[in-house]
């Protein structure tokens, strides 16, 4: 359904884009593309060294970029990020709730800490971003857009990714609800949900930033993620490709941004099984 306003106006030069998970992967590439498009940036991540590198790569002058360490699982830290963004720039036109982590292995071996860490970042990070930034975006009365990073694992249910897939399904559900709410707000604010498949983003190494108190993980996690890294590195699309498709999706006002069209077959298979009352197959076989 087309929006009632031109979503490309959210990407106008001089606008402000907030990007979480900006130290690497999609977040870094989104930052570089937004900077090249003339936007000013608010960048956040727990990886301070990676964040500083992203800032340097943008080539923006200090006045045009704000970088802040931020654990998106902490509501107070996201509130402070929003406060600093508005103090510095006075508005936000693009919000990329992009920070994400992964835990893997058979679901019955998942630890309570796996659930807490993954849902804290992947789900509550998005929820905190919406709560902290969207009210201001609505109050501005200017075209604005929210992009929540989910995954194709938010549309299908791959084996050994129970915790991760559950978190990404939650992101898709939250994004769909937000779409309906924003559409009824009367304000020019829209939302997309990004659902990529295998891309080499560095997420398989996210454990290095896992809090010590949440370190107890699925005993099969490391082995599964080692295999996943191979699949990611063999993927045909780069993080840059996906970031470009994401901005194109915003310009076109698309809700679902599915980077890998081949992944649609897995979604269709799942829905056919649902309608037939059958069992799902492995949805990511052959996707890359």
Is residue 254 within 8 Å of 192, Cβ to Cβ? Answer: yes
Q: Which of 96, 117, 133, 164 does the annotation list as catalytic?
A: 164
> How far apart (Å, rounded) are the C-alpha atoms in residues 38 and 182?
26
Could you tell me which residues come within 8 angstroms of residue 58 by beta carbon, excluding any fewer than 6 positions away? 31, 32, 35, 41, 65
- CA gap 199, 108 in Å, rounded: 27
Q: Where are the beta strands (DSSP E) in the chain?
A: 16-20, 40-45, 65-69, 94-97, 144-149, 189-194, 256-257
What residues does 149 pair with on adjacent strands?
A: 194
Q: Pairing mode, if any, of strands 94-97 and 144-149?
A: parallel
Q: DSSP state, 40? A: E
In terms of Cα–Cα distance, which of 173, 16, 167, 198 is closest to 99? Answer: 167
DSSP 147: E
Neighbours of 98 (CB within 10 A): 29
Interatomic CA distance for residues 253 and 138, integer angstroms: 17
DSSP label at 198? S
How far CA 120 is from CA of 55, 71, 268, in Å, comes to 26, 9, 30
Angle, CA of 155, 253 and 239, to the nearest 5°: 60
**Which residues, including other chains, have CB under 8 Å from residue 152's CB and lie 6 or more apart?**
195, 196, 197, 258, 260, 263, 266, 267, 283, 284, 287
164 is catalytic: yes
Active site residues: 164
């Amino acid at each position: 359904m087309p929006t009632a306003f031109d979503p490309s106006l959210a990407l106008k030069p001089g606008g402000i884009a907030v990007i979480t998970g900006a130290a690497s992967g999609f977040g870094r590439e989104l930052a570089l593309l937004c900077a090249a498009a003339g936007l000013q940036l608010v960048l956040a991540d727990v990886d301070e060294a990676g964040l500083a590198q992203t800032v340097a790569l943008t080539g923006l002058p200090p006045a045009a970029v704000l970088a802040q360490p931020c654990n998106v699982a902490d509501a107070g830290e996201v509130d402070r990020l929003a406060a600093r963004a508005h103090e510095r720039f006075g508005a936000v036109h693009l919000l990329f709730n992009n920070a994400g982590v992964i835990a893997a292995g058979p679901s019955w071996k998942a630890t309570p800490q796996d659930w807490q860490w993954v849902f804290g970042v992947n789900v509550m990070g998005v929820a905190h971003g919406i709560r902290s930034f969207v009210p201001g975006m609505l109050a501005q009365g200017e075209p604005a857009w929210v992009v929540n990073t989910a995954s194709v694992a938010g549309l299908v249910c791959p084996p050994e990714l129970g915790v991760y897939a559950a978190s990404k399904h939650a992101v898709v559900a939250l994004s769909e609800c937000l779409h309906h709410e924003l559409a009824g707000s009367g304000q020019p604010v829209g939302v997309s949900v990004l659902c990529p498949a295998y891309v080499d983003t560095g997420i398989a190494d996210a454990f290095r930033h896992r809090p010590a108190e949440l370190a107890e993980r699925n005993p099969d996690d490391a082995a599964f993620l080692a295999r996943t890294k191979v699949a990611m590195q063999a993927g045909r699309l780069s993080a840059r490709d996906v970031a470009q498709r994401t901005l194109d999706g915003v310009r076109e006002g698309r809700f679902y941004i599915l980077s890998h069209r081949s992944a649609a077959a897995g979604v269709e298979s799942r829905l056919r099984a649902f309608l037939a009352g059958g069992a799902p197959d492995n949805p990511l076989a052959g996707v890359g």
